[in-house]
Chains A and B, each alone.
Chain A
Amino acid sequence: DGGITQSPKYLFRKEGQNVTLSCEQNLNHDAMYWYRQDPGQGLRLIYYSQIVNDFQKGDIAEGYSVSREKKESFPLTVTSAQKNPTAFYLCASSSLVSNNEQFFGPGTRLTVL
Chain B
Amino acid sequence: NAGVMQNPRHLVRRRGQEARLRCSPMKGHSHVYWYRQLPEEGLKFMVYLQKENIIDESGMPKERFSAEFPKEGPSILRIQQVVRGDSAAYFCASSPQRREKLFFGSGTQLSVL
Do the two shown chains form a genuine complex with each other? no
